[in-house]
Structure 1
Amino acid sequence: MKKTLLLSTLLIFSAVLTTNAQKIWNFTQWSQATIDNCAADPTTWENVSETRFQNAIVIDAETPLTANGVEIEELQGLTFGNLNAGKFRIDHPVDGVSIGRFILNGSSLSINVPDCKAGDVIRLLAISANSSDERGFTATNATRTGGLEITTELNENVFSVDADGTVVFTTTGGMQVRYLTINAEIPTSIKTITPANLEVVRNAFYNLNGQYVADDFESLPGGIFIKKTFFDNGTSQVTKIAKVQTHQ
């Protein structure tokens, strides 16, 4: 009886661990091995700038992405839909000048996340590849629980997996993807990262209903606010901040 009870407990515990397994993909940094392999494989990866490679050939759906005969380590565990030439781009930082990410360059392009469990929470940090065009992701086998469907801002998309199996995220337009997790938070440092060569031209503060309050942080009353930072290249970034009211 004791052995049966112990076995049942272990099986339940194992199931819980399986359901709550964490996975993290960080695209803000790309290894030197990945960069070198892409550079050594111009047939597959075109070097279009100092910080960017793009696929030079058609990549079939469900095919792991490789460079120089090696699966790209930052993408291991993920597959994609059909990718015509130029539809997948890898941006890798050089001396802090750019933000690492991959770009799905178009609409109806998909990221496949296999082996998900019902109830898993997936977070996808991404931004429209066009600063004036609101875009986003739709999901198959997952329900949105956080983030905006479309926006021009850096957006933390949060989804709950509906059933065991693959979750598919599909673009509504070109998207830059920085981070993806299963059952893990996205670090604040990743959500606020900006290129070192951009200059801030203005900060604006809004209440949680999206109403403009002020440009000057010191003039804000105590509370929680949305801070929108505008950069000199026309892009912007949104973060949530707290102001503690001091009493004289």
Structure 2
Amino acid sequence: MNKPDAETAPRLQGLRDLTNTRRLGKRLLQSEWLQRAGSALISAALATIWRTNRDTPGSTDWEELLDGEFPAIFALWHGQHILVPYAGPKHLKFVSLVSRSADAEINARVIKRAGFEVIRASGGRDPGAVARKGGVMALIAMRDALRRNVNVVMIADISKGEVRQAGEGIAMLAKISGRPIVPVALATSRRYVLENTWDKTTINLPFGRRCLKLAPPIHVPSDAGKAEIAAARARVTEELNRITLEAQHAVEARA
């Protein structure tokens, strides 16, 4: 086997060093002490951000809109959900779906610290991927949670899929559970948007105004076929986009 020449050898060594550094970084991120400390710090920061933003008059009253509709499936967009665990009525129970990946462990711990239960699973863009990654079991677990009178909080669009387009999973959960989908959007007047992320992740900032918007419940019949599932997905998409804009406009208006 030929040895690398004098010019190539340093490049190969540099690649090996970079690979080893990345592996070390990944192991550190997945370590128990860092997961515990990181989730505690993030939780404290988010709780502070929530407390230091005041409600706008345009915020939706959960109880008034959803009288008789609990438990429900609350639909959110990727990247717009960071403060939502702090927004729900404290006397209600919630469970959230979180990826099974090691990278999502801190996220799961933060959600638990906010008082939510957590279901771990990963979805996909085709039925085979969903089954392999635990999506089917997650769907059953969420249905069972609803039967226990626990509200489900679910990201409507698929990770790294088509942004701001509701996937099939949330409509299927509404079909098999008989519970309504309620689109939810939350915006703060002070925020930082990560423009280079696929979902335009929004980091809410303290000392501003906040607005929580809920859309009317969307029901999916238990005998819904492909056309009705597609129609439900389209309506979730439309309503989530509508209330997201409404929430943003509300906090941007002069107080």
Higher relative contact order (CA 8 A, sep 6+): 2
**TM-score between the two structures when normalised by the length of structure 1:** 0.27
* Structure with the bigger percentage of helix: 2
* Structure with the bigger percentage of strand: 1
